[in-house]
């Protein structure tokens, strides 16, 4: 077999079928929105992601799969206008509440899915197109082509490396197997096939700062699929796992230690100077 015989989009689809956790539906994301916002709005992922690019005040940005505004909110302070798109009603509600609390007026919210017809929804290309940790799609090649089309100057993807946010140590402690599913290497190969030679940086998140024991438990519980709840024995193991990994910080908060840091790839490409720009 030669490299060009590999169909990365089909490989991506096959790999997704083997992962431990079923793909999350819109309702799953609705249900997780409040917790996700609490854990992510002030995470070090945001600081590291924002620090990687020279945001320009005249830019417009489209943030697809924006969640509770993890990036849309800090970006709104750096660019002219942000369009925040997500299919989850509750995620968009979290974003709107926080936007109002922060007194930001330059974020427009659109409820839509990756799979929808964006031009029918009135969405136009923006200077920057961002897809951060949101490419949970079956047709990855279609979504990447869409990203390239909707980015006028710069396209940025935040993608999982290996287990990403999942803690393999937890699954080992519970005695469960864990197959994380495909990661950024599929994205990179499909982009290459599309003639897009992207740059890759990495964000590594070491131990997690956590306010209390309850939140530490929650920060691990979300990793457990809802259709495979913990048994009584597994609950005991989870509590032991958390207790063994919590360390007090001088400021009164706690650090939840991880043996395997959470790692993300930040894949980006500038539209000018690219060898090829995809047509939709």
Q: What's the DSSP call for residue 4?
A: G
Judged by beta carbon, residue 123 or residue 173, the one nearer ligand SAM is 123
Among 62, 66, 188, 220, interactor with ligand SAM by CB under 6 A: 66
Sign (positive/negative) of CA torsion 98, 204, 63, 20? negative
Q: Which stretch binds ligand SAM (CB under 6 A): 84-92, 171-179, 223-231, 233-241?
A: 84-92
How far apart are CB 161 and ligand SAM at their closest, in Å? 14
The answer to whether residue 180 forms part of the interface with ligand SAM (CB under 6 A) is no
The C-alpha atoms of residue 178 and residue 176 are separated, in whole angstroms, by: 6
60 binds ligand SAM (CB under 6 A): no
94 touching ligand SAM, by CB under 6 A: no
**Which of residues 131 and 188 has its CB atom nearest to ligand SAM in the complex?**
131
Contact range with ligand SAM by CB under 6 A, out of 50-58, 134-142, 182-190, 221-229: 134-142
Interacting residue with ligand SAM among 39, 126, 133, 146 (CB under 6 A) = 133
Residue 217 burial class via C-beta count within 10 angstroms: exposed 0-12, middle 13-18, buried 19 and up: middle
Q: Give yes or no for residue 208 binding ligand SAM (CB under 6 A).
A: no
Reading the block at residue 79, the tokens are 């660019």
Angle at 256 between CA 184 and CA 174, to 5 degrees: 75
Give the total of residues touching ligand SAM (CB under 6 A).
20
> What is Dmax (Cα atoms) for the chain?
57
Region from 9-17, 83-91, 220-228, 268-276 binding ligand SAM, contact rule CB under 6 A: 83-91
Among 99, 134, 187, 268, binds ligand SAM (CB under 6 A): 134
132 makes contact with ligand SAM (CB under 6 A): yes
Q: Binding to ligand SAM by residue 262, rule CB under 6 A?
A: no
| Shortest distance in whole angstroms from residue 207 CB to ligand SAM | 19
Residues lying near ligand SAM in the complex (CB under 6 A) = 29, 40, 65-67, 70-71, 86-88, 91, 113-115, 132-134, 136-137, 158
């Amino acid at each position: 077999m030669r490299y060009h015989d590999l169909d990365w989009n089909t490989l991506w689809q096959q790999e997704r079928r083997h992962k431990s956790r079923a793909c999350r539906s819109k309702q799953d994301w609705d249900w997780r929105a409040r917790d996700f916002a609490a854990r992510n709005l002030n995470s070090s992922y945001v600081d590291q992601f924002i620090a990687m690019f020279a945001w320009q005040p005249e830019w417009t940005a489209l943030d697809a799969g924006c969640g509770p505004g993890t990036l849309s909110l800090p970006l709104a302070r750096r660019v002219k206008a942000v369009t925040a798109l997500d299919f989850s009603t509750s995620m968009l509600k979290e974003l709107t509440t926080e936007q109002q609390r922060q007194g930001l007026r330059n974020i427009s919210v659109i409820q839509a899915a990756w799979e929808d017809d964006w031009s029918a929804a009135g969405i136009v290309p923006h200077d920057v197109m961002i897809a951060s940790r949101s490419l949970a799609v079956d047709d990855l090649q279609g979504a990447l082509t869409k990203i390239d089309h909707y980015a006028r100057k710069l396209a940025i993807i935040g993608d999982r490396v290996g287990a990403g946010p999942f803690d393999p140590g937890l699954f080992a402690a519970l005695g469960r197997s864990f197959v994380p599913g495909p990661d950024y290497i599929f994205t990179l190969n499909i982009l290459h096939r599309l003639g897009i030679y992207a740059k890759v940086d990495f964000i590594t998140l070491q131990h997690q700062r956590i306010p209390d024991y309850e939140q530490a438990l929650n920060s691990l519980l979300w990793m457990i699929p809802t259709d495979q709840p913990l048994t009584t024995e597994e609950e005991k193991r989870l509590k032991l796992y958390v207790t063994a990994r919590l360390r007090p910080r001088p400021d009164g908060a706690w650090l939840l230690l991880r043996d395997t840091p959470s790692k993300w790839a930040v894949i980006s490409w500038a539209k000018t100077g690219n060898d090829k720009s995809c047509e939709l």
